[in-house]
Structure 1
Amino acid sequence: MLHSQILSHFRNRAELLLSGQLAGMAADYVYPLPVFLHPSRLLIGGPDHALLVFSHLRAALARRGVVALRPSISAVDLPRAGRFRVWIDWQEIAFPAEGTRMSQAVYYCKTTELGLRTEMVNYTRLSMPELNQEFATLALTA
């Protein structure tokens, strides 16, 4: 998959999240979906659980005044058997500017007949550590 196609995919995912089109976003993942949130882990069991997690994330971004999410790809693995990793820096543009933050994640992806799907996410830098407890609670309700 080309770098520009991957970037477009993640830009679209950001737009879906911020616009509240969470079902479209949830369709981009393979379940169960492990999400590593240094130092904890969240296992998203299916699309319904993903909608709950994404709605909490969207609400937290809105509280901070985030108006745009800009992905920047720092690296892409060479695909092996249709699978590859993508390293992304997410710039969270907020108004007021004090709410602007950066997160970093590694996405474990695969190419399918339906397009790019994510099988696992590993956050290497969290922009909202204040959500760790909330996500821990969500993990228990899955």
Structure 2
Amino acid sequence: MSRYIQVKWDATEAGGILIGRILEEDGNYIIDDVTEPMPSDRRKRTRFSRKPDGHQEYFNEVWNREKGRCFYLGEWHTHPEKKPTPSFIDKEDWSRLMKMEFESGCLFFIIIGIDEIKVWYGAEDQLIELKRRS
């Protein structure tokens, strides 16, 4: 994901989905894989719109390879700002996704900024920004 940081003035936003697992012993979430931008995605300087083409096929490949032991855990995308803040559109998209049923019961949303990476945890229509431990 870090190779898509928008350090150049003309770099467009990028994004994809998060694929991972939930550890039975302690309930921790592990992100094992992510998709990269696909040709059908719409990428602008300040907007990324992920289309299902490519991302779903990639997830299906991982699902088959892992014999169903993986989950869709959320979304990631970049922002052309040092400390990323979710836009109104981001929050609307996240809210829509959280209303869908997923086996994991929650979703994670990552925004990669120029200097910082921020993560939000969403479950039951509640969105919480996760703070980095020192």
TM-score, length-normalised on structure 2?
0.30
Bigger proportion of residues as strand: 1
Bigger proportion of residues as helix: 1
TM-score, length-normalised on structure 1?
0.29
